[in-house]
Structure 1
Amino acid sequence: MTRTVNGLDALKQLAGSDLGTSDWITVTQDRITGFADATGDHQWIHVDPEKAKDGPFGAPIAHGHLTLALFIPLFTELLDVHGVTTKVNYGLNKVRFPAPVPAGSRLRLAARLAAVDDVPGGVQVTIDGTIEIAHGTKPACVLQSLSRFYA
């Protein structure tokens, strides 16, 4: 369920709050192959299902950076900020990939709005995110993301 806020002051009031979890998405082999095509990373553990069956994970796995890239569409399910002129991805403080994501896995994002800090012309938002794997014992990705919202 998307939480909608209007303006920077309303966003500041959410600092420290849990944003909940997104819906589940399935990471298909087609999505993995498309990411490989977009990035030029065609390593066999991602794009060769037959060879990957005998590899260290028993199946093809998503690129770590594909898993990370899914943060944005999953996050937009959790928070929508109105009353701003610009929304910018500012970077990452931390990213880890504790578990591989086999093709066919379902993922979702659990997120917390860790901080909202003033910057010239707007605010910087720090999000603590965990991309979970359905039925997994470890997350696919743990990250701290920075975004900026300008008035």
Structure 2
Amino acid sequence: MRVFSSADDLRAAVGTELGVSDWVTITQEQVNTFADATNDHQWIHVDVERAARESPFGGTIAHGYLTLSLLPGLGWTIYTIENTKLGINYGSNKVRFPSPVPVGSEVRLRCVLNSIDEVGGGALQLAVGQTIEIKGHDKPAVVAETLSRIMF
């Protein structure tokens, strides 16, 4: 776990890898729960028998947005920023889903601090390159640059 305590600590880390999370397994239960929460019950995600028969992936796959939604939780296991008054998600510059995540796969997050900008009122905007890797696959599941704003 990498810990940052000040804006200067963060600035010194620009351009470096912040770390890599542990591997986590994507379960069918997670996929079904996400489908219920988003009302996205496409068969390729939730119909195990049909996906085994008809899917080009040989079974069910996680929703791309489910995989994307893992970023905050996995990110908290990689780094933390102490002494902040607040921190918010601000958005994304780019999100891509290069490879599907078969249910039962293990994934992990790799983060790089791309840049920091002063955005006024004492706030900093962090651009973090985030890549969700799939164990045993050459292509990642998610490649994103996310933005967050913090105030010390």
TM-score (norm 2): 0.95
Gaps of 5+ in 1: none
Q: Which runs of 4+ in 1 moved over 2 A?
A: none
- Cα deviation for residue 47 of structure 1 reads 0.5
The equivalent of 2:128 in structure 1 is 127
Contact 1:8 1:122 in 2 (8 A): no
Amino acid at match of 1:95: V
Query: SS state of the match for residue 41, structure 2?
Result: coil
Q: Which deviations, in whole Å up to 9, do the C-alpha atoms of 1:112-134 show, x marking residues without a partner?
A: 10111111121000111110000
Amino acid at match of 1:80: T
- Cα deviation for residue 14 of structure 1 reads 1.3
- Cα deviation for residue 96 of structure 1 reads 0.7
Contact 1:62 1:100 in 2 (8 A): yes
Is 2:58 the counterpart of 1:66?
Answer: no
Amino acid at match of 2:144: L
Number of corresponding residues: 150
Is 2:38 the counterpart of 1:39?
Answer: yes
Query: SS state of the match for residue 149, structure 1?
Result: strand
- Cα deviation for residue 9 of structure 1 reads 2.2
- Counterpart CA distance in 1 for 2:145 and 2:134 is 18
- Cα deviation for residue 50 of structure 1 reads 0.3
How many percent of aligned residue pairs carry the same amino acid? 47
- Counterpart CA distance in 2 for 1:98 and 1:66 is 14
Query: SS state of the match for residue 147, structure 1?
Result: strand
Contact 2:2 2:19 in 1 (8 A): no
Q: Which deviations, in whole Å up to 9, do the C-alpha atoms of 1:86-133 show, x marking residues without a partner?
A: 110000011111111010010001111011111112100011111000
Query: SS state of the match for residue 72, structure 1?
Result: helix
- Counterpart CA distance in 1 for 2:146 and 2:36 is 26
Query: SS state of the match for residue 125, structure 1?
Result: strand
TM-score (norm 1): 0.96
Gaps of 5+ in 2: none
- Cα deviation for residue 70 of structure 1 reads 0.5
Is 2:150 the counterpart of 1:138?
Answer: no
The equivalent of 1:21 in structure 2 is 20
Contact 1:8 1:84 in 2 (8 A): no
The equivalent of 1:92 in structure 2 is 92
